[in-house]
Amino acid sequence: MSDVPVALVTGGATGIGAACCCRLAGEGFAVAVHYRSSGEKAEKLAAGLDGAFVLRADLAVPEEIDALIVQLKERAGRVDVLVNNAGANVNAPMLAMKIGDYDAVAQLARGTWYLTKLVLRRFMLRRGRGRIINLSSVVGHTGNPGQIPYTMAKAGLDAFTKSLAQELAGRDILVNSVAPGLIDTDMSAELPDEVRDRILERVPQGRMGSPDEVADVVAFLATRASYVNGSVLHVNGGMYGG
């Protein structure tokens, strides 16, 4: 087994995930760049990072997560840091949303739970250490009209963080959330202009954040935050303080 620590970043091909991959690679991690549909972007990103490799899986499908774990075992033999970044969103009012829209978000939330369970069982618990970092969202705390399944999933992710940290008490496996505010990504670009402007009015710094600003906090939790556990770190320019 290599002495190089390994970080798995889900949804790592674009946006905040890609920034996390770059930042963790700079910290000396071999990064497993997970993707579902952005294969070309994932390959290009990994090609520019020492020791990085790509893994594809639809996290809504348990069998594909099983296969991803097998590949991780073969390619790296370890996972020291898991960054649960992959997310799904549907922008629609409550009364216009279909069950399938809700299920698309909920199934990915279930996949985050299942992937984390397998990473713990196959890698972290055997090594006796690890870091799990969940990317939630400020809207899981404030709410946001037109994003009810997304806000439910993100609020649940923070509850997952707190509960899992307590379950793993006494072990050197720390679990934390990073809750970004309005960040300049493809997902925020999909918001209607009036929604984005309404959110910006609530940000004291008066601007969107960058993916790199979120990745800095993720890297801190992955490498230096030895006494931070079960916490939600807000990265939102003062929009919400928790």
Is the CA virtual torsion 184, 102, 7, 48 positive or negative? negative
Which structural domain range is residue 192 located in? 6-235
How many domains, the chain? 1
CATH, residue 172: 3.40.50.720
- For the segment 120-145, the average pLDDT, to the nearest whole number, is 96
**pLDDT single digits (tens) 9-61:** 999 999 999 999 999 999 999 999 999 999 999 999 999 999 999 999 999 99
pLDDT band, residue 146 (cuts 50/70/90): confident
Q: Which residues are catalytically annotated? A: 150
pLDDT of residue 144: 85
Residue 26 lies in a domain: yes
Residue 240 lies in a domain: no
Contact 216, 23 (CB under 8 A): yes
pLDDT of residue 198: 82
pLDDT of residue 2: 75
- For the segment 134-157, the average pLDDT, to the nearest whole number, is 94
Residue 17 lies in a domain: yes
pLDDT of residue 63: 98
Residue 71 lies in a domain: yes
The mean predicted confidence, pLDDT, of the chain is: 95
Residue 241 lies in a domain: no
Residue 1 lies in a domain: no
Question: Could you give the CA distance from residue 174 to residue 130 in angstroms, rounded to a whole number?
Answer: 7
From 6-20, 29-43, 88-102, 214-228, the region with the lowest mean pLDDT = 88-102
Token pair for 76 = 């790296």
- For the segment 209-235, the average pLDDT, to the nearest whole number, is 98
Residue 63 lies in a domain: yes
Residue 52 lies in a domain: yes
pLDDT above 70 (res 1):
no
pLDDT of residue 199: 82
pLDDT band, residue 193 (cuts 50/70/90): confident
pLDDT of residue 32: 98
Q: Strands across the sheet with 30-35, in order?
A: 53-56, 30-35, 6-9, 81-84, 129-135, 172-180, 232-235
pLDDT above 80 (res 190):
no
- For the segment 132-156, the average pLDDT, to the nearest whole number, is 94
pLDDT of residue 208: 94
